[in-house]
């Protein structure tokens, strides 16, 4: 990716989870970049977005965000074997965190209780 690409934050993950996501995104032809806290803060400067926790911050081109979110959702759902059959992560209305059920502020970029972050396309 070149410096001129319009990159957006997809997710903040552990090193292991970020590596798996980057590998899957690459396999599907979606460019991605993982940044440390310092570099991610610099990338987000002036956008009004803040980082809620440490880890690797995965960025993708804005034009690929929808596809990248779908890939990330697939990986998350695959890692949660106890989900009820037919669970639809897109069915939540945004008023409660889909992970822990806590009430959410409409402008929240992450759950204040469990730390789940929401990609820009979900809020």
Q: What is the pLDDT of residues 43-82, one digit of tens each?
A: 888 777 777 667 899 999 999 999 999 999 888 888 877 7
- Model confidence at 4: pLDDT above 60: no
Mean pLDDT of the chain: 81
| Burial of 85 (C-beta count, 10 Å sphere; 0-12/13-18/19+) | exposed
State residue 103's pLDDT score. Answer: 86
pLDDT band at 122 (very low <50, low <70, confident <90, very high): very low
Instruction: Give the whole-angstrom CA distance, residue 7 versus residue 88.
Output: 27
- Model confidence at 119: pLDDT above 80: no
- Across the range 25-29, mean pLDDT stands at 97
* Domain extents in the chain: 7-122
The Cα angle at residue 20 between residues 19 and 26, in degrees rounded to 5: 90
**Its pTM surpasses 0.75:** no
Q: Does the domain made of 7-122 have the CATH classification 3.40.228.10? A: no
pLDDT in tens, 81-100: 776 677 676 666 677 777 77
- Phi-psi category of residue 100: left, alpha or beta, with phi > 0 → left and psi -120 to 50 → alpha: alpha
């Amino acid at each position: 990716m070149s410096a001129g690409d319009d990159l957006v934050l997809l997710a903040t993950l552990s090193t292991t989870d970020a590596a798996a996501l980057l590998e899957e995104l690459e396999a599907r032809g979606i460019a991605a970049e993982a940044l440390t806290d310092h570099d991610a803060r610099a990338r987000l400067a002036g956008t009004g977005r803040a980082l809620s926790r440490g880890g690797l911050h995965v960025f993708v081109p804005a034009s690929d965000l929808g596809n990248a979110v779908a890939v990330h959702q697939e990986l998350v759902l695959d890692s949660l074997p106890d989900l009820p059959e037919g669970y639809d992560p897109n069915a939540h209305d945004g008023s409660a965190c889909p992970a822990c059920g806590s009430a959410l502020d409409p402008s929240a970029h992450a759950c204040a209780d469990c730390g789940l972050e929401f990609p820009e396309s979900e809020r």
